[in-house]
Chains A and B, each alone.
Chain A
Amino acid sequence: MIRSLARPARQYGLQVVILVAIIVTLVIVAPTFRGEAAIYATLERLVLLGIATAGIAVTMIAAELDLSVGSMAVLAGVVAVQLSGLGLVPSIAIATLVGIVLGAAQGWLIAKLGINSLVFTVGTLILLKGAAWIAAGGAPITVTDFTITDPLLMRFWMFSPLSTVAILVLVAVGVFLVWTKWGREIYAIGGSRPEAIAAGVPIRRPMVVAFAIAGACGALAGALASMKGGSVTPDSYSNLVLSCVAAALVGGISLYGGRGDMINIALGVLIVAVLSAGLSAMGMQSFVSELLTGMLLLAVIVIEFVIGRVLGRRKLRRLQFAAAA
């Protein structure tokens, strides 16, 4: 029994502890952060942060990193707002499609060249940002007919259409990652690429899929957020990628690939979202939550590192004794 708990504990334990600690602390310290309002505020943050983090986390699982997610978001936002005349759903759908296509193209090029995605996406980050600038005409743009975006502002209990979509997207990506062959291939090329290739796993397909998902998520997040706010500027979402990487890492997705699932992503996003919503309810400025997130990130990676070292040493000792036996 204990053995079967060990693995989930190892994978999510730290994050659950942190989340609970934050919630408890906030409930004590912030009298206005309660009940439905609190959950609603948290869930709303899931839209931008959650969806985009899911996308970038998929590339992290593949042992890559898509830094262009923020630029994808702003480009999609601009596209959605410019096309808002077509209606709410079509404009968002087209913007997301742009993200899928661009993301897939990135993934294909990175796989074909065999290049480090960190370096490649620094370039595409700048490139797509420039594209967003041009598409927006260099200035903030707003939705012409606000009635189109009204449905997004509805609220059912603690959910809104946006947070519902966010949750559905997260569930869909989560299922894909763990239950499908294509999803598991992403884990394989992320976990140990040379071994995966030796085993017969193709490289191109999982890379294209991973980056397409990242592009789609980034675009969807940007389109939804922009439509909700009714406007977008070419400078929007430039800090998004750093927040997403932080959320993913806090949640337990490893930068080295092959580890973590949607529960990790969700936990990471929830931790950051709850912290941000709670601090906001306390009247704190946004930099406070960024500061605390940064410290949390450092704490989490140090703890994970130490745990990894301790476990690694134990394994080495076990292997040594096995060889000598």
Chain B
Amino acid sequence: MTSELRLLAKNVSKTYGAVRALRDVTFELRAGEVMALLGENGAGKSTIVKVISGLIRPDKGTIEIDGAPADISTSQLSQQAGIAVVQQEYSTVGTMSVAENLVLGQSTAPKWWSRRSLNASARALLDRVGLSDLDPRTPVEDLSVAEMQLVEIARVLARDAKIVIFDEPTAALSDAEIVRVLDVVRRLASEGRSIVYVTHRLGEVFEVADRVTIFRNGQSSEPIAIDQLDVKSVVEKIIGRELGDMYPPVAESLGDVLLEVTDLMAPGLREPVTVSVRAGEILGITGQLGSGTAEFVQTLAGVHPKLAGSVRLNGAEADLRSRRAGIKQGIAYCSADRKRNGIFSGISILRNLSSPWLDRVSTIGVVRTAKEADIAGQTARQFAIDARRMGSSVGTLSGGNQQKVVLGKWIGIQPTVLLVEEPTRGVDVGARAEIYRKLRELCNEGLGIIVSSSDTNEVFGLCDTVATFYRGALTNVRARSEWTEPELVKEVMHRTEAAHAH
């Protein structure tokens, strides 16, 4: 039985500090099958993928390929063993042509690059992914996001791998392109290769997968044949966890309407969005990558262009042209990626906290450091950040405390509305509970908060109202009490309505 397996990972464990990312996981793959890998963020999917592709070494466990033990402890070794990964992050160089990118970095690349031979071999690969009308001489930076994704896939095909892992390959693709990707996947499988298909989109799973492995809390399920599953059972297996008391109680009553969004259109949204937020309300917005949640929140923040529609703050039309304008009107915004645009790495905690409200603590351009320290100190205490460390660089804080700084700095502008994306990404459990508590406190003081998160459990536990997004459109808005968690998960993973058949 074991000798039929292309890949067998046994008893794999990986621990980071206090967190067990993988707990005694067994994962198997047969030749010529498409195995879907499902599970929520942080459940262990990406960790097992990294182990298989050689990016990280497990603390324990063995890997067998085609029945024999294999050493795939580095990405080079993993590639040599015949494993290829189509990643979410791009590995194409924009300034070079498609043909050149298909050969770049491959050990089979020729020493002399004549355009003719490169273009010829590119042609064959491009045809296989359905890009037959793409001129291989096109610089990759001129391609659409979808075409770039398909070129990534073509790159991997060039390597003739035995095992191909697709990591969320369709997040940015349109329906027609998704069909092409699924075609490629099926074709690869029919050639005898083993495919691991990591995704959040249940529709695709049911279309292309033979078997499904579900990860939850660092553990893996037994592989289940697809014909023994339906959407409901898959969703149940993915969540299956109690709420616990990490979340503070929801609001008992809500105030007046603070923010009123009517028919808002922005790049990345397919349909106009209409929704409102009241004082004291936490509106949760959830959807997968590419669903439009990020674009929606960023438009309200003023960092994404608004194409149409009206946004009224306390009755008056809001100026969303820039962050400065937003701050003046009391709109606070915490981005999803604090490392990229949330914190100032080398700068002290104190100065991180005061960055949006410097005008408030200065006279004729000179900063009144005592007043600055005072307000920053208050914020630090409110957010349980050790005030003695105010002078240290924010980089010395843990992820959870950094996130508290990112949130806390907005208190100083006395905000009316707080927009938060992924409030607990990279944050440990203890800090998470504190952040939730703080958000609820702010709400009780009269703020309106919009939380956008890909963690459905978080949205379900924390928010008063939940809105779901799917493929660029708002699909449903209901009070929390009118949702069940399985319903919520299903809504973001699998909309069966023909709404997206445009």
Contacts and interface: CB of A to CB of B under 8 A. Distances in A.
A65 to B, nearest CB: 17
Interface stretch (A43-51, A132-140, A192-200, A263-271): A192-200
Contact of A187 (B96, B107, B145): B96
B68 interface: no
A196 B101 CA distance: 9
Contact of B94 (A178, A191, A320): A191
B154 to A, nearest CB: 13
Interface string A294-325: 00000000000000000000010011101111
A180 interface: yes
Contacts of B142: 315
Interface stretch (B83-91, B247-255, B348-356): B83-91
A181 interface: yes
A152 B114 CA distance: 36
B90 A198 contact: yes
A8 to B, nearest CB: 12
Where chain A touches its partner, the secondary structure class is helix
A325 B89 CA distance: 22
Nearest to A202: B105
A191 B95 contact: yes
Nearest to A3: B135
Interface residues of A, number: 30
Interface in B110-152: 110-114, 137, 141-142, 144-146
Given A179-B113, A180-B113, A184-B96, A325 B174 contact: yes
B267 interface: yes
Interface residues of B, number: 35
Contact of B91 (A7, A198, A319, A322): A198
Contacts of B100: 184
A322 B111 contact: no
A200 B94 contact: no
B409 interface: no
Contacts of A194: 89
Contacts, number: 91
B270 A324 contact: yes
A323 B109 contact: no
B105 A201 contact: yes
B144 A196 contact: no
B91 A180 contact: no
Given A199-B155, A320-B268, A324-B267, A184 B95 contact: no
B314 interface: no
B145 A322 contact: yes
Given A187-B95, A200-B106, A322 B472 contact: no
B87 to A, nearest CB: 7
B92 interface: yes
Contacts of B31: none
Interface in A95-119: none
Given A195-B92, A322-B146, A184 B104 contact: yes
A164 B320 CA distance: 62
A320 B100 CA distance: 26
Nearest to A7: B137
In the A-B complex, the 3 residue pairs with the closest CB atoms: A200-B105, A191-B95, A198-B91
13 contacts: A179-B114, A184-B104, A185-B104, A191-B93, A199-B104, A201-B104, A201-B105, A315-B142, A322-B145, A323-B145, A323-B472, A324-B269, A324-B472
Given A200-B107, A315-B142, 17 more contacts: A180-B112, A184-B96, A187-B96, A188-B96, A188-B104, A199-B93, A199-B155, A200-B104, A200-B105, A201-B105, A258-B93, A258-B95, A259-B95, A318-B144, A323-B145, A323-B174, A324-B270
Interface of B: 87, 89-96, 100-101, 104-107, 109-114, 137, 141-142, 144-146, 155, 172, 174, 267-270, 472
